[in-house]
Amino acid sequence: MSDNLNELIHKYNVATPRYTSYPTVPCWNEANFSTSGWITQLQKNFDQDPAQGISVYIHLPFCESLCTYCGCNTRITKKHQVEAPYINAVIKEWQMYRALLGDQPLHIKEIHLGGGTPTFFAPENLRQLIAAVLEGNTMDENPAFSFEAHPANTSAEHLQVLHDVGFRRLSLGIQDFDPEVQRVINRKQSVEDVKVVMDQARAIGYTSINFDLIYGLPLQTLHSVFDTITVALSMKPERISFYSYAHVPWIKPGQRHFSEKDLPVGKEKMDLYKLGKGMIAEAGYKEVGMDHFALPSDSLLLASENGELHRNFMGYTDSYTPILIGLGVSSISDAWTAYAQNVKTVEEYYRMLNMGELPVLRGHLLSKDDEQSRRYILEMMCRDRVVLNENDPSKNAVIIQRLRSLRTDGLVRVKDNVVRATPLGKALIRNVCTAFDEYLHQETDPVSVRFSQAV
């Protein structure tokens, strides 16, 4: 790696949003938000074109043990009596949204089960949940139904039951195969655990399997990452997510179970990324958006090549819908012109539902400027290019000024009103997107207290 590249990595390794939404959650204007305002925006945007369908994200927060690297909203327990009350509460929340969206059948294009550990739940409870969501509604012939699974507790029955109700995509949270890394992050599953789940899923009929791998975890080395990716590639999943560990112990105290001295940072961390990315590409996978790779036959890559790739709170998807309904604690819903996030504790979630209230904690109503900036960031995240609005020259001038340093450093090219990310810019796409982030440039408080490092 050249000295110049080392300097760029050091320069751009700053606290930066991941842009799963815009505005990012810490920048939401909660003072102007109300649940009634959220409902109005949801109904208005849904009624404009119900045929476009909706996506559904369901957060299942329970885990039997804490993975210390995890940044998700989780509830740690070994008591599986919690399953039935939670399933019933999610179904109640879904029925409230169904009533708000009218009597006609909804066209459900995408369902994703996240967590937590969705496979903490018994297969029959998951069947009951999905059956309730699908009841009286329609879905695509090949629906984009996926779920996250822990290889160590996912059974053949889990796979079969979810396949029976339309699931064809599976995401296995592996992170790293190295025993010492697994020990320090408390995430333990063997290579054999993963192989068994893979073989069972293939035999049942799953058509797209994703591996989640992370670089930047404590105790990782070039040797351990090489071994992990070698094993992962030998199993030939259709997709691989290879993303940066987000160290935010001020938000997730579980990350204090290891020391910052154990973390690869800066050039050391970027070398892990370069190694992994190179191995994945050499194996025939193509880069899709940020941190995602897919085989040429996979629908995610085809969507990217066709200009149809989309990004929402569930990550990259080949199934665009303008409406995303988030169910369960901490879930975020998106109506394009408004966001709403649910309360973050199970107890408050139950309390509000029992009172007949949507369990909404906070949200944001997007302004016209927000919508334009959101489009720019989404375009850059999904297509590595942005066409600036020619009818807004003053804003364009501001954006191009912000891009000056990025252009000088070779992260972007600008011609007329078109901004394109270079190969280096794609690796630092979060930094590129900051040029379109109006809130970030208005900030007076340091962003380091809210966002993870870019590299």
Q: How far apart are CA 25 and CA 439, in angstroms?
A: 11
Measured in degrees and rounded to the nearest 5, phi and psi for residue 41 equal: -65, -40
Question: Between β-strands 292-294 and 286-288, what pairing exists: parallel, antiparallel or unpaired?
Answer: antiparallel
316 is in an annotated binding site: no
Is the separation of the CB atoms in 216 and 256 below 8 Å? no
E strands of 130-194, at which residues?
138-149, 169-175
Q: How far apart are CA 446 and CA 137, in angstroms?
A: 46
Kindly give, in sequence order, each residue whose CB lies less than 8 Å from that of residue 61, ignoring residues fewer than 6 positions away.
72, 73, 74, 75, 115, 116, 328, 329, 330, 346
332 is in an annotated binding site: yes
Q: Among residues 335, 327, 377, 305, which one has the least CA distance to residue 52?
A: 335
Residue 365 is classified by DSSP as E
Q: Confirm or deny that 63 is annotated as ligand binding.
A: yes
The answer to the question of whether 382 is labelled as a binding residue is no
Pair 133, 110: CB distance under 8 Å = no
d(CA 19, CA 211): 21
57 is in an annotated binding site: yes
Query: Is 27 annotated as contributing to ligand binding?
Result: no
CA distances from residue 351 to 93, 343, 345 in whole angstroms, order as listed: 12, 10, 10
If DSSP codes are grouped into helix, strand and coil, which group holds residue 384? coil
Q: Residue 209 and residue 154: Cα distance in Å, rounded?
A: 14
**Residue 216: C-alpha distances to residues 53, 185, 222, 423 (Å):** 38, 12, 10, 21
Measure the CA–CA gap between 203 and 41, rounded to whole angstroms: 44
- Position 221, amino acid: T
Beta strand 310-312 pairing with 292-294 = unpaired
Q: Is 433 a known ligand-binding residue?
A: no
Query: Does 385 appear as a known binding residue?
Result: no
Contact 366, 384 (CB under 8 A): no
Answer yes or no: is 148 a known binding residue. Answer: yes
- Dihedrals phi, psi of 45, to nearest 5 degrees: -70, -30
Residue type, 55: S
Catalogue the long-range contacts made by 227-230 (C-beta closer than 8 Å, 24 or more residues apart). 227/177, 227/178, 228/174, 228/176, 228/177, 228/178, 229/275, 229/276, 229/279, 229/280, 230/279
Annotated binding residues for [4Fe-4S] cluster, as ranges?
Answer: 63, 67, 70
Annotated binding residues for S-adenosyl-L-methionine, as ranges?
Answer: 57, 69-71, 115-117, 148, 175, 187, 212, 246, 332
Annotated binding residues, as ranges?
Answer: 57, 63, 67, 69-71, 115-117, 148, 175, 187, 212, 246, 332
